Structure 1
Amino acid sequence: MYVSLVELAERPGALELAQAATPERFRTVDAALLDALLRDQDVSSWPAEEVEVAELTKQAIAAEVDAAGGLIDGFLARRGYATLIAAGYGDAERIGKLTERQLLMYYEAELRRQRRARAEFLTDANMAFAGGKDAEQHLKALLK
Structure 2
Amino acid sequence: MSVQAILKEKGYSVVTAPREASVKEVCHLLHENHIGAVVVVDAENRIEGIFTERDVVAAISKRGVQCLDEPLGEVMWRNVFCCTRHTSITTLMDIMNTHKARHLPVEHNGRLAGIVSIGDAVRHHIKAIEYEAEYIRSYITG
Task: Give TM class, smaller chain.
Answer: 0.3 to 0.5
Is the radius of gyration larger for structure 1 or structure 2?
Answer: 1
Between structures 1 and 2, the one with greater strand share: 2
Structure-2-length-normalised TM-score: 0.41
Between structures 1 and 2, the one with greater helix share: 1
Higher RCO (C-alpha under 8 Å, 6+ residues apart)? 2
